[in-house]
Amino acid sequence: MADLQDDLHPAAEAGRVGEPYPEEAVVVGPEEYEPVSDPDDAPLTRARAVLAAHPVADGYSGLPQALRGLPWYDLDLGESAVDADVPRLRKGQVGAVFWSLHLPEGPGGDRAVGATLEQLDLAKAVVDAHAEGLRAARTAGQVVDARNCGRVAVLFGPAGAAALGDSLSVLRSLHTLGLRVITLAGASWAGAAGLTRFGEEVVREMNRLGMVADLSHASTPTIRRALALSKAPVMFTRSAARDLRPHPANLPDELLAEVGEAKGLCLVPLTAEQAGPTVRDVADHLDHIRTLAGPECVGLSGTYDTRSAHPRELGDTSCYPTLIAELLRRGWEESDVALLTWGNVQRVLRGADFTAHAARQRRPPSTATIAELDG
């Protein structure tokens, strides 16, 4: 039977907030942020000033799937058939975006692996064809480099758990190809009862590789086990506050508090279904989660190009300054806004990279199989 390679250092492992990173892992962020001091500045002007130093890191975009159905497009010039082209990303001051590789029909087995590879191939081709505006990135450092070169950093993922084909070898191959985030839901090893033994080994291997676990749409037992098991910060790429708006992917207050304790990151989706029909509704969710989990544990997920209805005033990616202006009107400190838009995603990416750096020193690639562990 394969060695499960159990954790050797359970509590003090890499990637926790408050623990210094090794010198070689430190990533220099954007230019030093200087708060806007003029109290008479209009909130929208102040919002643009904050975003100029700390642009939006958008946690979820369905653009690859949306482009698949178009006979021709040019994201550099502008594309009215989608919510996110380069001009609107720049107008919205977006510096990085996660491109979803989720499959619309949810095929299983080998078909899911192949379909995910097709999605990844398309996403790479789109970035390559728009090199003046987009640049692929895997690490926090590469995200900063892209931003400093005037490009929008594109990170590939999340992809569904079915994309692994119940194989850690496939997981490693997807990582090699550039996949950054896996959603731990919709697989036999990450279901309503929580993570199985194989599911736990998937999380350990993701930590070793530096891949981020996405827990949106996961069951509560899966969420709690992943929070306890993962040595790197986890993300919820599309989760708002359930107490404000009931939705299966939104999180109840007790889970939001646990996310804060684990220093995970909850990315609030800008969709009417999950957050509400107005920009004020979205701001209510951000206020609520910041209060419960802390300012370092909340971020933004545009969820554009997913066929979802969006709140008024937030119809596409150019509208982020409007949301930030609303938060400033509510008295958000500009330092907290900087965490919301940019700093918190950077922290998660750095934490994943640091955890992988430490884990690779003590454990080789896992040879476990689902048959051995789950029977």
* Mean pLDDT within 327-341: 97
94-139 pLDDT per residue, tens: 999 999 999 887 556 679 999 999 999 999 999 999 999 999 999 9
Asked whether the predicted pLDDT for residue 5 surpasses 70, the reply is: no
For a pLDDT cut of 70, what percent of the chain falls above it?
88
Give the integer Cα–Cα distance in Å for 63 and 304. 7
What confidence score (pLDDT) does residue 64 get? 96
3-class SS at 143?
Answer: helix
Whether the Cβ atoms of residue 300 and residue 71 lie closer than 8 Å to each other: no
* Mean pLDDT within 273-285: 98
* Mean pLDDT within 181-201: 97
Lowest mean pLDDT among 26-35, 86-95, 239-248, 285-294: 26-35
Task: Report CA-CA distances (Å) from 46 to 30, 287, 332.
Answer: 18, 19, 12
Asked whether the predicted pLDDT for residue 281 surpasses 90, the reply is: yes
Q: Which residue has the higher pLDDT, 98 or 29?
A: 98
Helix axes 253-261, 279-293, angle to 10 degrees: 60
3-state DSSP percent of the chain in helix, strand and coil, to 5: 45, 15, 45
Residue 3: how many CB atoms within 10 A of its CB? Answer: 10
* Mean pLDDT within 188-208: 97
Lowest mean pLDDT among 9-13, 80-84, 208-212, 352-356: 9-13
Containing 116, the helix (H) or strand (E) segment is helix 109-129
What confidence score (pLDDT) does residue 39 get? 52
Residue with tokens 């590469």: 142
Give the integer Cα–Cα distance in Å for 339 and 346. 9
What confidence score (pLDDT) does residue 159 get? 97
H-state helical runs in 130-230: 140-148, 168-176, 197-209, 220-229
DSSP secondary structure, 349-372, as one string: HHHHHHHHHHHTTT-------HHH
What confidence score (pLDDT) does residue 21 get? 35
**Over the chain, what is the mean pLDDT?**
90
Asked whether the predicted pLDDT for residue 6 surpasses 60, the reply is: no
Please state whether the predicted TM-score (pTM) of the whole model is above 0.85.
yes
Asked whether the predicted pLDDT for residue 30 surpasses 50, the reply is: no
What confidence score (pLDDT) does residue 109 get? 66
For a pLDDT cut of 90, what percent of the chain falls above it?
85
Q: Which residue has the higher pLDDT, 339 or 19?
A: 339
The dihedral through the CA atoms of 332, 335, 341, 343 has a sign that is: negative
Phi and psi torsions of 266, nearest 5°? -105, 115
Asked whether the predicted pLDDT for residue 9 surpasses 50, the reply is: no
Asked whether the predicted pLDDT for residue 238 surpasses 80, the reply is: yes
SS (H, E, C) 311-355: CCCCCCHHHHHHHHHHHHHCCCCHHHHHHHHHHHHHHHHHHHHHH
Residue 195: how many CB atoms within 10 A of its CB? Answer: 25
* Mean pLDDT within 217-231: 98
DSSP secondary structure, 7-41, as one string: -SS-SS-TT-TTSPPPGGG----SSPP-----TTS
Confidence grade of residue 375 (pLDDT, cut at 50, 70, 90): confident
What confidence score (pLDDT) does residue 278 get? 98
* Mean pLDDT within 22-38: 41
What confidence score (pLDDT) does residue 26 get? 35
What confidence score (pLDDT) does residue 315 get? 97
Domains plus CATH for the chain?
41-374 (3.20.20.140)
Give the integer Cα–Cα distance in Å for 308 and 88. 18
What confidence score (pLDDT) does residue 14 get? 36
Cβ within 8 Å of residue 101, ≥6 positions away = 64, 116, 119, 120, 123, 156, 157, 158, 159, 160, 163, 179
